[in-house]
Amino acid sequence: MNYYVYYKVEPGRAEALRADVQSLFERVERACGVRGRWMRRRDDPATFMEVYENVQDAEAFESLLERESAAFGFARKVERFIFA
């Protein structure tokens, strides 16, 4: 399963958030074996997305993602996709 997590961040907060996202990616990789990617929307510098591909244990991944990203302090939208 592939996960796409997107959210808006105040422009001045994006650089500080980079370290938090990197730390999240490291914890997810250690626990679930999946390395995330962080992207910014091309036409909107306030919209960011985390991408996690080929997640094998969805339940463990979702639990970890929810717990570890709670400290971010803003709403995150999680979308789940499978191969057709």
How much is the average pLDDT of 16-38?
A: 96
pLDDT at position 58, please? Answer: 97
pLDDT tens, residue by residue, 34-82? 999 999 999 999 999 999 999 999 999 999 999 999 989 899 999 999 9
**Contact by Cβ (8 Å): 45, 11:** yes
**Contact by Cβ (8 Å): 75, 7:** yes
pLDDT at position 66, please? Answer: 94
pLDDT at position 11, please? Answer: 79
CA neighbor of 3 nearest in space, from 46, 63, 43: 63
Domain ranges of the chain: 2-81
Q: 40 forms bridges with which residues in the sheet?
A: 48
Choices 3.30.413.10, 3.40.50.150, 3.30.70.100, 1.20.1430.10: CATH for 2-81: 3.30.70.100
Q: Residue 12 — very low, low, confident or very high, per pLDDT cuts 50/70/90?
A: confident
As given in the structure block, the two tokens for residue 73 are 């302090």
As given in the structure block, the two tokens for residue 37 are 């990617």
**Contact by Cβ (8 Å): 41, 47:** yes
